[in-house]
Structure formats: structure tokens, C-alpha cells
Amino acid sequence: MSAADRAARRAVTVFPVLVLAAGAVGLATPGTFGGWKESVPYLLGVVMFCMGLTMTPTDFQGVARRPWAVALGLVAHYVIMPGLGWLIAHALDLSPQLAAGVILVGCAPSGTASNVVTYLARGDVALSVSVATVSTVLAPLVTPPLTLLLAGAYLPVDAGSMVTDILKTVLLPVLGGLAVRLFLGRYVDRVLGALPWLSAVTIAVIVAVVVAGSAAAIKSAAALVLVAVVLHNGLGLALGYGAGKLARLGPPASRAMAFEVGMQNSGLAASLATAHFSPLAALPAAVFSVWHNVSGAVVAAWMAHRARRAERVG
């Protein structure tokens, strides 16, 4: 692995602990983050700018080389996770705020750590990068209408305003980071190892702000939210892998599909929920931020073990 790959692996491994600590701080001292709510979109912009800095034209060339596989990944992601969010909200009879939050998590693009976890699982990293890139670029067009369709029965959804927010906090920072990488690549290469850590710390701050905003309601809702998140993520990983197997993409691509479907950009979901619904609606995204990295690391280790054993047998 390169130095940047090693840094990304360490950041993904440490990230759940960092986010748990941030959540504990937000819960214990909510007043510390009382005036930070307005900063959440800007913090998310930092995360997405870092994502843009890691992109290269090769990421987009991969889409042209394998359009069918990438299209399948996008359809699976934007059908399975939103649908699961709606079903889980109904099955658990969640309150309107929590139901909207779970659905919004499902409507978000792929998670920022999915590429690294795919690498750890010995999956098809090129496919993972392509699906994550395109799902992020398409988020302004897909996430708001899906949220309106599925969560509109629970809470009012201003899809137009949500489009504007995603453009400002996701697409523009990603494109800005990509432009900087294109024109100042040799300088960016020197700091690539620090970018996963900067993203991890920034997402941890977002979680602390979100948890602080709903600290009073967490004690009564945390257990139910955890059940919803575990079901959402676990079923997403399983169905994503199943979609790859059903399409006969092969084991490495199926492993990539599992993480591209089951891991969400929960930072975006938390930002949108805080801005458009309430801090309580952002709680599922905060819990998802922790859980999907824990489950992703465990599932990746299991998949890598199975892949190595298959290679030895073969």
C-alpha cells in the first residue's frame, strides 16, 4: 500500500472510536455546541472538498469503461437504501422526525469511506470509486425528490431548497477539490495522507453538534434508532452483495457493490436533516456514521479472509 492508502486505512479503523468520543462529548456537554448548528453545512463542505482532492480523471474514465456495472450500482444504491429506510420506518413505527431521518439517510449518496473499505475487503476498488463518484455527482438530482416521495408523508420537505443545499455543500466543494487536484496535483500529493484524518475529524465534529442538538431526546430514542440503523445498514450490505451476485459481476465486484449500497454519506444526511427537519431527525445519521464504519470494517475483514482462503484452495 502507498502511504496515502495506509493513512486512509488507519483513519477508517480509528474513525468509529473518534466519532463515539465526539458523540459522548456532545451528549455530556450540549451547551458547548449550542451555537454550532449553522456551521454544519460548512463542515460538510470541508469533507466533500477533501473527497474532491482525492479524485482524478481516471475515476471518471472507469465509468465509460464499465457503464453497465456502474449503472447497476447506482440503481441498486438509490433503490435499495431509500426503500429499506421507508420499510424500516414503517415496521418500527418511528416518530415522524426519526422516520424522516432514517429515510433521508437512505436517500443519501455513497459513503465517503466505502472505497477504502472495499480495498480492505479485496473488492473491485475501481468499480467502487466509479459508483461513489457518480452517486455523489447525481445527489442534487436524486436525493431531494426521493426524500420528498418517501418522507413527505412524515414531514414537509422543501425539495427545491434541498437541491440548492446539496449543490452548495456537496457538488461545488467536490468540483473545487477536483480542480485543485488537476492544477496543483504535485502539491496535493504531498498531503493526501492527511486528508482522511481531516475528513474523519470534521465528521466527528458534525456528529458532536448533531448529538448536542438532540441530547434531551437521545436517552429515550437511542435504542430504537440503533435498531433501525443496524437493520438499514445490514440489509443494505447483504442486498448490495446479492445484487452483484445476481448480475454475475464476480466476487470482487459483488464485494464492492455491498459497500456502495450499504454505506451512506451520513454526514450529508445529518447536515440536511439539521437544516430541513430538526436535530432529532439528524440522530439516525449520527448513529449511522459510527455503525456503518464498524460494520464495514468487520465485514471487510471477513470478506478478505474468505477471498484469501478461496485463493489458497484454488
Of 22, 116, 124, 135, residue with least CA distance to 77: 135
pLDDT, residue 197, reads 82
Answer whether residue 312 is part of any domain: no
pLDDT, residue 35, reads 79
Answer whether residue 189 is part of any domain: yes
Q: How far apart are CA 133 and CA 127, in angstroms?
A: 10
Residue 95 has pLDDT above 60, yes or no: yes
Percent of the chain topping pLDDT 90: 41
Mean pLDDT of 89-117: 92
Of 128, 134, 138, 106, residue with least CA distance to 231: 106
Q: How far apart are CA 36 and CA 212, in angstroms?
A: 10
pLDDT, residue 269, reads 92
16-67 residue pLDDT tens: 788 888 888 888 888 888 778 888 888 888 888 888 888 777 777 777 888 8
Of 138, 47, 155, residue with least CA distance to 101: 155
Domain of residue 31 covers 3-305
Q: How far apart are CA 109 and CA 263, in angstroms?
A: 9
Answer whether residue 173 is part of any domain: yes
178-187 residue pLDDT tens: 899 888 888 8
168-181 residue pLDDT tens: 988 899 899 889 98
Say which residue, 208 or 59, is predicted with more confidence: 208
Please report which confidence band the pLDDT of residue 114 belongs to, taking 50, 70 and 90 as the band edges. confident
238-277 residue pLDDT tens: 999 999 999 999 999 999 999 999 999 988 998 899 889 9
pLDDT, residue 226, reads 92
Domain CATH number, residue 36: 1.20.1530.20
Distances in Å between the alpha carbon of 153 and those of 62, 93, 103, 256?
38, 13, 11, 33
Answer whether residue 221 is part of any domain: yes
The predicted model scores a pTM of: 0.87
pLDDT, residue 125, reads 84
Answer whether residue 311 is part of any domain: no
Whether the CB-CB separation of 296 and 288 falls below 8 Å is answered with no
Say which residue, 293 or 134, is predicted with more confidence: 134
Say which residue, 13 or 159, is predicted with more confidence: 159
pLDDT, residue 90, reads 96
Answer whether residue 219 is part of any domain: yes
Answer whether residue 314 is part of any domain: no
Q: Which of 24-28, 139-143, 295-299 is modeled with the greatest confidence?
A: 139-143
Mean pLDDT of 270-296: 87
pLDDT, residue 126, reads 86
Total domains, the chain: 1
pLDDT, residue 22, reads 86
Answer whether residue 310 is part of any domain: no
